[in-house]
Amino acid sequence: MNPEQKSAVEVAEHLHSIEEFQRDVEPAIVAARNEFLTQETIVGLYANDFIDELYPDSTPLYSLRARSYTFSETDADRIRDVYDEKLKPLGFELWEKNDPDTVLLVWTNASYAASVDVVTHVGIQSSTSYSAGPLRSDGSSENPSVFLPLEGRVPEWLTPELTEKYREQ
């Protein structure tokens, strides 16, 4: 085990698992996002949701990255309030940067090595994504690199045709 891997495994021992993140935290993130992301407000999407397995030959760790969505809501105060309501009770802390053209909102939770990012381009659009890890598995799922079922992770209205229509390269 190389020093970087050893350090990552040691840190992950003190964090929640990838399964706990998906069960206990991700539903709140998705619920907040889906208050803004609708068939009427979507502007674009980038990449796909994925869970990477790191160090599969020894002590595997898992890193989750959600697809980035862009939507037409630009009221940063409203976005902040909705995410705060859902995330602060789960231990997330908000960091914010404002300039005349953009507002960057970043919620972090050290216990899950998690981050939720929203960038609002004032008067134009906002984009959001989230990530967690590297985290260990707690053994509660057969394959930790496969997402647990979560209603709304991919919005019900987002058909394969719409996915391709809005996909950004």
Can you give the pLDDT at residue 23? Answer: 97
Can you give the pLDDT at residue 12? Answer: 80
Q: Which position has the higher pLDDT, 58 or 44?
A: 44
Q: What amino acid is encoded at 104 in this protein? A: L
| CA–CA dist 112, 127 (Å, integer) | 22
What fold, for 3-142+155-166?
TBP-like (3.30.2030)
119, β-bridge pairs: 104, 127
| CA–CA dist 134, 17 (Å, integer) | 9
Q: Write out the two tokens for 160.
A: 């394969």
Whether the per-residue pLDDT at 169 is higher than 90: the answer is no
DSSP 109-121: EGGGTEEEEEEEE
Listed by start position, the domains of the chain span 3-142+155-166
Whether the per-residue pLDDT at 58 is higher than 90: the answer is no
Residues 125-154 have pLDDT tens digits of: 999 999 999 999 999 999 999 999 999 999
| CA–CA dist 54, 98 (Å, integer) | 35
Report the predicted TM-score, pTM, of the whole model to 2 decimal places: 0.94
Q: Which position has the higher pLDDT, 57 or 105?
A: 105
For residue 132, the surrounding DSSP H or E stretch is strand 125-135
Q: Which of 143, 140, 137 is CA-nearest to residue 59? A: 137
